[in-house]
Structure 1
């Protein structure tokens, strides 16, 4: 294959979807200066973020409350959503707090399984929508400070249980 032919290579659909995801991430980051525009742009990701908290809290008996998606000013920052957890315990705090990390494999699955394998006019909407959903997942997959505070409730007990399990496994 000549160097000229290699330079003119066409992107595969997955490469195009990955590039469009990065472009969407950059576009969505531009809205950070205006809270109303940012809230509207980030709302699908905020819903996904809070629903991961809700589902993991429900599965681990954390008794989640009704999720709220109205922005609240907290000091210098805004909280775009929240899910009250009525039963945080040592065994579920870390799982609930780190649950937004589940959005990373979701973003991967959306790109890999949601992108069509061939270019067509009928599938064109998928080349716009799937990278947007993946970008929302990637922007909202980072746990917030209140999430990390919830993780700290169970870090020491889970660390002790982990060390005990490791020592038991060595024996």
Structure 2
């Protein structure tokens, strides 16, 4: 049973490494696109300021429509994440890659105390990555949102952590039975 869990664990680690690398690349691409669109965002904010001034002079239903469109555009601009958010997400996905390699070692060299601690760390890492990732839907060519990518990376990481913990617990029980 241990051998099967180890083999399955290695395949899951490869999945984690691939998903984390893809997520890091995606965050870098999004950060670059955000940096390139800063001029357009500044121009849109200036246009909104001009529209606000024009809306003050309007009356009736057209004023209400313009004000609602301005409010919607301003809320969309405020929803844009900062570049630092993407950098933090990249660091968290890099940490997922590192943890998966560590769990790969623990699959073959069990350590109960470290496995337990890193299991908790992997759960916290999943939660942090999920909630820090910008909640922007996937684009035309990429179907996954950033939060979905966090789940695709984090859940297998927790599974591998559980495998490493289970193997360490089993080895600890065997050593207690044999008296070592």
Q: What band does the TM-score fall into relative to the shorter chain?
A: 0.3 to 0.5
| Bigger RCO (CA 8 Å, 6+ sep) | 2
Higher helix share: 2
Structure whose alpha-carbon radius of gyration is higher: 2
TM-score by length of 2: 0.33
Normalization by structure 1: what TM-score?
0.34
